[in-house]
Chain A
Amino acid sequence: MHIPDGLIPFPQYIIYWLLVLPPVYLSLNWARQELDEMKTPLLAVLAAGIFAIQAINLPIGMGTSGHMVGAVLAAIILGSPYAGLLLLTLVLVVQAFVFYDGGITTLGANIFNMGLVSCWSGYYTYRWLEGRLGTVKASFAGAWVGLFLSAIVATFQIYLAGAFPLIEALVVMGTFHAIIGFVGEGFITAIVVKSIIASRPDIMKFEQRKPISRNLQVLGIAIVLILAVAAPYIASTNPDGLEQAMIHLMGEEQASNLETSIHYSAPMADYSIPGLGRAGEVGAIAIGTLILLGMGLLLAKFSRTKQDIPIKNLEEKESVNENGWVSQDRDWGTPYIIETRNLMHEYRSGSTKALNGIDFCVKPGERIVLLGANGAGKSTLFKHLNGILKPTSGEVIIKGQSIDKTNIKDVRRTVGVVFQDPDDQIFSPTVAQDVAFGPMNLGLSEKEIERRVKRALEMVRLTGYEDRAPHHLSGGEKKRVAIAGILAMKPEVLILDEPTTGLDPGAAARLMRMIMEMNRNLGITMIIATHEVDLVPAFAQRICVLSTGKIIGEGTPAEIFSRPDLIAKTHLRLPLVAQLMEQLKEADLDVEVALTIEGAKSEILKALGR
């Protein structure tokens, strides 16, 4: 709906600029008076948030997608259409000057449509319906009205610029935006509002809002009813203002020709059903009302709170092995579950190679630790093993098959990645919903999803946390929810990127113990990137050292930690136990360097003759 430069002629775009400047000035005044100094930075942060949200494309249907405007959502959250207008103005200016999403001369028109029309109509529709339908349904209706009306106004602007025939454009733009408003803007706004009420109700300060007076409500309803009933009688015979203007400017014949030429495809042109006279006009309005009523009913249906989402005709796509987690079928033609051959990766933004010829093999059931300084290429390698990144050159082979479009889903089911920051992964309002996210994407049945969620939460010892909100969890618990989200997909390989970052020593040790158990009891292959060198010797069967995109060393913990040159390149240090043993050795105590507490204890006792 962003109108580009060049479409609207000079005098017309000046008019839109003049129309929006006073409201934008008023919204700045409103910000000065109503927003305390706390909310000013919040408004800016929300503007950035809206910008990011506009980057998310929504599937509309028939292979098309669109994005949200977000103006009404912002107005609802901040409790004022002025806030929505100010915020949309900021977003539209950046979009025009940086991305050319919408023109610069037409910025006034775009602010008018998406800021002014959308915010005021949407916000007051929401306020009017809030008491009747509830906050969530009212926000749906408000967002829909806001988007629909702004599209209609934009159509008129383009028509006045001479580039659209009015009726066809109204039909096309109206229908398209009615659908986008329903599927995208309305639905998504309602979910976001619902989610905010559930998790941070303080953001939407309802108690500060003044109710719309009863008189105003009655007046609004009366106007709508009068217009609906009287429209055919008032408007059917005489030309309207625009038509009068056309007759005046172009002459009656030309205007009549134009009318005829642009009306041919509209099924109910002039709000009438051809051949039925006045009855046809009433009928046309009635059909329009029924369409809107149908949309209202659909809205009510979609907005109904449901605990379970029905999954239709979904067959369970894989057999569930009750006894063994990992498939025993290993006829892959290679002993490795993961193999990379001369893997190279170069990011578009950088000139250096993030991965520079990696040959990395993992056998089923292994526990491997990747050591490397920040920027060594660990996270890039992980993203390749899950098929998120495509190699610049080289190959990634999972269970004997090179990753391609046909097997990507299997690869992601086989190799699960737990990210360093659990907040990147967890986005659902409850723990159970988030853990169910992966299995849902695999198209499993409801029963199977429920079973997997239960099992995954048991494994990470979070049974009973199903309905908890993720932001009420501690760092360690969030990390375990993130792991459960991957376990629910039954991966054969689990990749954990810095799993102990931000955890206290107790939580880190418990997490590592849990990971060890999964490896020993279920046979899940584990690959971990970590800087916690003290935890590595007890965990790793094999260590790979990564530096500037290359594997520069590989071996058992004893082999790797006996090479100070390698350790120096990773910017890490020896485990504390090993450092102590080194110092005891230098102090002439007859001990060998050990890497684990058990090993050190036995060496010291031996040296003490016990």
Chain B
Amino acid sequence: MHITLTDIEREAYKSSLLHNMDGRIKIIMTLAVIIYSVSLPRLDINTIERLGIIWLYLLTLLIVARLNPVYAAVRMAIALPFGLGISVLQPFIRQPFINDFTVIYLLPLGITITEEGLLFGSIIFSKFMVSVTAVVLLSSTTQMQDMVSSARRLGLPAEMTLLFSMMVRYLFVFWGMLRRIRTAQKTRCFDIWNKDVPRRWILEQIGLSISALFIRSYEQGERTYQSMLCRAYSADSQMCVGKKTLGSGDYLMFSITVVMIIGVQIFI
């Protein structure tokens, strides 16, 4: 099973306490959780407990947001391999910033497992888990367009917001375009692992598909520009995001998160 833009959109269009919250609060909450987690000491046993509690808090929010559990689990699993790979390596290597190592196991070929490496690996992995869960929660409860508007309200430069907003719009157009091209290629037996044809030819076909996508995206841009000009677009045009006031629910959720982070830091 894999996750596509369509799956993320389907979850983001649901309705729940978290879905209905203001995007700004959700972005700030996500950043707060990630920055706090990443800033925790990298060789302290308490870090794992702290991260564990934050992770449980995020899981609770996932349940409150009524996200499909299979979807959430698959998204987390997809994001983890690189982080997991690095974490798993840690017990076997001598980290340059650690002076004394306590060897727990001695393996053949002189390979050792150290206590410090194991702790460092576990902490890295816990930090990955918390960060992944926070982003899955943010992206699954916030529509992409809402994320762009919220970023603008938080002070992102206008040019960047305009580019973002249009990029998001075309992400879906190209997602569909790419999917249709790949389906059409599949009907003509195209498979990147096909052993009957030279590998170079396969790579060429992928290159040509990308070229087609590029040229179409460029031409789509030209058409878009013309239609924008028809509606008085100019270099000074900005995206209209409108004003939005925060509700009591927004303040409440934000406060709960901040109190939770402070509590974890003080009491654990």
The minimal Cβ–Cβ distance linking B42 to chain A, given in whole angstroms, is 6
Classify chain A's interface size.
35 or more
B interface residues with partner A (beta carbon < 8 Å): 6-8, 10, 30-31, 34-35, 37-39, 42, 75, 79, 82-83, 86, 89-90, 93-99, 120, 123-124, 126-128, 130-132, 135-136, 138-139, 144, 147, 157, 159-160, 162-171, 173-175, 177-178, 180-181, 183-194, 196-218, 220-222, 224-225, 228, 233-235, 237
Q: 7 nearest interchain CB pairs?
A: A6-B127, A443-B196, A191-B207, A48-B170, A49-B217, A195-B211, A44-B166
Q: A99-B139, A188-B203 are in contact. Are A388 and B187 (CB under 8 A)?
A: yes
B residues near A485, Cβ cutoff 8 Å: 188
Is B167 a contact of A94 with CB atoms below 8 Å? yes
Is B83 a contact of A165 with CB atoms below 8 Å? no
Q: A9-B42, A56-B178, A427-B181 are in contact. Are A77 and B214 (CB under 8 A)?
A: yes
Measured CA separation A31–B188 after assembly (Å): 42
Instruction: Name which of A112-120, A324-332, A409-417, A585-593 contacts chain B.
Output: A409-417
Measured CA separation A43–B159 after assembly (Å): 11
Is B180 a contact of A90 with CB atoms below 8 Å? no
Is B94 a contact of A261 with CB atoms below 8 Å? yes
B residues near A508, Cβ cutoff 8 Å: none
Q: A53-B210, A162-B95, A191-B211 are in contact. Are A38 and B188 (CB under 8 A)?
A: no
A residues near B144, Cβ cutoff 8 Å: 94, 98
Measured CA separation A13–B144 after assembly (Å): 26
Is A191 a contact of B208 with CB atoms below 8 Å? yes
Output the nearest chain A residue to B71 by Cβ-Cβ distance.
A348
Flag whether A419 is at the interface (Cβ < 8 A). Answer: yes
- Which residues in chain A, 348-390, are within 8 Å of chain B measured between CB atoms? 348-349, 383, 386, 388
Instruction: Name which of A213-221, A227-235, A307-315 contacts chain B.
Output: A307-315
- Which residues in chain A, 459-499, are within 8 Å of chain B measured between CB atoms? 471, 485-486, 489
B residues near A41, Cβ cutoff 8 Å: 166, 221, 224-225, 228
The minimal Cβ–Cβ distance linking B211 to chain A, given in whole angstroms, is 4
A residues near B128, Cβ cutoff 8 Å: 4-7
Measured CA separation A50–B89 after assembly (Å): 32
Measured CA separation A349–B11 after assembly (Å): 10
For B93, B120, B206, the residue with the greatest tally of chain A CB atoms inside 10 Å of its CB is B206
Measured CA separation A424–B191 after assembly (Å): 17
The minimal Cβ–Cβ distance linking B201 to chain A, given in whole angstroms, is 5
Is B166 a contact of A52 with CB atoms below 8 Å? no
Q: A42-B218, A47-B167, A104-B34 are in contact. Are A187 and B42 (CB under 8 A)?
A: no
For B157, B171, B220, B234, the residue with the greatest tally of chain A CB atoms inside 10 Å of its CB is B171
Is B163 a contact of A162 with CB atoms below 8 Å? no
Q: A429-B208, A437-B190 are in contact. Are A53 and B213 (CB under 8 A)?
A: yes
Is B90 a contact of A163 with CB atoms below 8 Å? yes
A residues near B124, Cβ cutoff 8 Å: 6-7, 163
Is A51 a contact of B171 with CB atoms below 8 Å? yes
A residues near B123, Cβ cutoff 8 Å: 6
Is A442 a contact of B196 with CB atoms below 8 Å? yes
The minimal Cβ–Cβ distance linking B178 to chain A, given in whole angstroms, is 5
Instruction: Name which of A196-204, A525-533, A546-554, A563-571 contacts chain B.
Output: A196-204
Measured CA separation A562–B221 after assembly (Å): 48
Contact of B192 (CB < 8 Å), options: A48, A57, A250, A442: A57
Q: Is the interface of A mostly helix, strand, loop or mixed?
A: helix
Is B34 a contact of A311 with CB atoms below 8 Å? no
Contact of A314 (CB < 8 Å), options: B90, B93, B196, B214: B196
Q: A6-B127, A97-B147 are in contact. Are A437 and B188 (CB under 8 A)?
A: yes
Flag whether A26 is at the interface (Cβ < 8 A). Answer: no
Flag whether A32 is at the interface (Cβ < 8 A). Answer: yes
Is A49 a contact of B188 with CB atoms below 8 Å? no
Q: A6-B37, A441-B188 are in contact. Are A100 and B171 (CB under 8 A)?
A: no
The minimal Cβ–Cβ distance linking A463 to chain B, given in whole angstroms, is 21
Measured CA separation A162–B210 after assembly (Å): 38
A residues near B181, Cβ cutoff 8 Å: 424-425, 427
B residues near A158, Cβ cutoff 8 Å: 86
For A184, A317, A437, the residue with the greatest tally of chain B CB atoms inside 10 Å of its CB is A437
Output the nearest chain B residue to A5 by Cβ-Cβ distance.
B131
B residues near A94, Cβ cutoff 8 Å: 144, 164, 167-168, 171
Flag whether A108 is at the interface (Cβ < 8 A). Answer: no
Is A409 a contact of B189 with CB atoms below 8 Å? yes
Output the nearest chain B residue to A29 by Cβ-Cβ distance.
B159
For B10, B120, B165, B186, the residue with the greatest tally of chain A CB atoms inside 10 Å of its CB is B186
Is A349 a contact of B212 with CB atoms below 8 Å? no
Is B79 a contact of A47 with CB atoms below 8 Å? no
